[in-house]
Structure 1
């Protein structure tokens, strides 16, 4: 008797999530045209990804409600580092939508065990996964983009040094990098050139790039440019030394990554093996696995999940070698 109200609740939540997502994806064409024209002629690029063309009323209200909060600023920074053109309000709407859809899917999948409480538990797990999945996708995309930037930085510094020897100014050199290099380093240097063109001091524009790309190698480059700007000197020669240092560091990191690849893969296999085995047992005999989700036996899977998460992060810390 308890199942029907729970099914209705799950359907209601799924419908609310669909409406929320549709509302978050609606665009205002008038604002979109204005923003495109402003971006075309002004080329304004800031740390937070401005996407007013796709912003709707609900997303704007959410964005205003969380503006200035520490978690909102961190979220805005992560979106910028991942190069995702979403506001904080739009991203929060997306996360709430995936949370509700995940709960509905988990509840529908879990109620087949003839235990409504187990359906709620599975729905809660799917809801947590739906809430965390967009966040970890942004972090993964930001890490991948950062790694691509670092891999390109050594050769880019060599190009900058050769351009300076050829008689180019520093700003012309950066414009050359923006035109001749490939993303993501071309996009970042293009932002620097645009900001300088809009009146931002060069050192401040470089600091903005360093905030978008938090790299020790880039910090070394920005510091060298700042010191050269203050005291003068042969910047091309300094860039040659920095480029060689960065290339050697990238090579050493690659060797370490190869040597620790087996341990990293072992961490993923050991962590995911119990989950895969539980799914197989669930598909073969749902009642057998469902007996674990009754009190007090439910403490066993909860403790197992906590232990798996702790073990996974411990193994990740062991193989994370700083250079």
Structure 2
């Protein structure tokens, strides 16, 4: 092969590489644009809370969403407002259960490994409930301001759909996020009653149910929505102060409910620290294992009873 032929081949390969590179960049840019458009449509429909964060455990997440447990977990996570997929949360829970299992088995006795794993599952569920309740409480505290904004907007002659969009822009999370979802659903043709009912299911509370009922009836029957919202604003302000006082009065009782199981677990470490291997010998017989299980059951019953007796519905 002479030099001239080699030069022609080199130039041709270079040109072909450049053409393929341009085509590749064009296809990549078009794919990115199509993906962004799809995300915008799904986000507008309230189906995908897109944040741009890279998701982990995608295969696990897809398989988990096909199950009933995965769908219920997805609803719970949506109510908490956490930017976590069901697959990510399930993987984190499995890691927590495995870690607690090993710690309980190594620090106390092999018998306490499964019990520590069950405690990990309970802790994960309680974490979701705590996050959900915290978001509900924050949303309830924003309801008086939300009702005030809706009343002022409707008094100015704006439609209720427009008033909801304005409130979504002015309020912070979680009320702003939830109202933005409602506004997006209304924009794609979802009935207002369905959109508001879905929001009430995500964040269940008596105050939100009253507000949703007022908005739905006013939108359906065309009543005096302004006066109803202003009266509701005053009622929500009073309930907000009452809830704050009740929560302050019950703070000591709530701390006692958590202190009871902590004292029980602490006594186990104290026993094992006083005499090394005491727990292993105690749980080596069926009688000792039964005594430990009964003790844990009693601590659980005490925790639940204290929480039940200190619960006051306002």
- TM over 0.5: same fold? yes
SS in structure 1 at match of 2:288: coil
**Could you say which residue in structure 1 is the equivalent of 2:105?**
107
- How far the C-alpha of 1:49 sits from its partner, in A, is 6.3
Output the CA distance in 2 between the equivalents of 1:183 and 1:240. 22
Which of 206, 210, 219 is residue 220 of structure 1 equivalent to?
Answer: 210
Output the CA distance in 2 between the equivalents of 1:97 and 1:150. 34
How much is the aligned-residue C-alpha RMSD, in angstroms? Answer: 2.7
Output the CA distance in 2 between the equivalents of 1:177 and 1:301. 54
Unpaired segments ≥5 residues, structure 1: 1-29, 111-117
Which of 59, 62, 65 is residue 63 of structure 1 equivalent to?
Answer: 65
Which of 265, 281, 288 is residue 297 of structure 1 equivalent to?
Answer: 288
**Could you say which residue in structure 2 is the equivalent of 1:287?**
277
Unpaired segments ≥5 residues, structure 2: 1-29
**Could you say which residue in structure 1 is the equivalent of 2:307?**
316
Output the CA distance in 1 between the equivalents of 2:48 and 2:104. 34
1:152 aligns with 2:142: yes
Retained in 2: the 8 A contact 1:48–1:77? Answer: no
SS in structure 1 at match of 2:248: helix
Q: Deviations over 1:3-31 (max 9, x none)?
A: xxxxxxxxxxxxxxxxxxxxxxxxxxx99
Retained in 1: the 8 A contact 2:257–2:307? Answer: yes
Q: 1:62 to 1:155 in 2, by over 3 A?
A: closer
**Could you say which residue in structure 2 is the equivalent of 1:204?**
194
Retained in 2: the 8 A contact 1:150–1:217? Answer: yes
- How far the C-alpha of 1:253 sits from its partner, in A, is 1.7
- How far the C-alpha of 1:222 sits from its partner, in A, is 1.3
**Could you say which residue in structure 2 is the equivalent of 1:15?**
none
TM, length-normalised to structure 2: 0.80
Which of 116, 119, 124 is residue 134 of structure 1 equivalent to?
Answer: 124
Aligned residues: 282
- How far the C-alpha of 1:33 sits from its partner, in A, is 8.3
Retained in 1: the 8 A contact 2:58–2:87? Answer: no
Q: Deviations over 1:202-244 (max 9, x none)?
A: 2221122112111221111111112112221221100011121
Output the CA distance in 2 between the equivalents of 1:162 and 1:289. 66
Output the CA distance in 1 between the equivalents of 2:135 and 2:36. 25
Retained in 2: the 8 A contact 1:49–1:80? Answer: no
Q: 1:269 to 1:107 in 2, by over 3 A?
A: closer
**Could you say which residue in structure 2 is the equivalent of 1:237?**
227
1:46-57 to structure 2, matched below 5 A, reads 46=46, 54=55, 56-57=58-59
Output the CA distance in 1 between the equivalents of 2:248 and 2:235. 20
Q: 1:58 to 1:274 in 2, by over 3 A?
A: closer
Greater Cα radius of gyration, structure 1 or 2: 2
**Could you say which residue in structure 2 is the equivalent of 1:77?**
75
Retained in 2: the 8 A contact 1:292–1:300? Answer: no
Q: 1:31 to 1:152 in 2, by over 3 A?
A: farther
Q: 1:131 to 1:101 in 2, by over 3 A?
A: same
Q: Deviations over 1:75-108 (max 9, x none)?
A: 2221110113444344333333332333233333
Output the CA distance in 1 between the equivalents of 2:34 and 2:118. 38
Which of 86, 92, 110 is residue 88 of structure 1 equivalent to?
Answer: 86
1:273 aligns with 2:275: no
Output the CA distance in 2 between the equivalents of 1:103 and 1:273. 20
Q: Deviations over 1:264-310 (max 9, x none)?
A: 22222233222223223323432234332232233222211111100
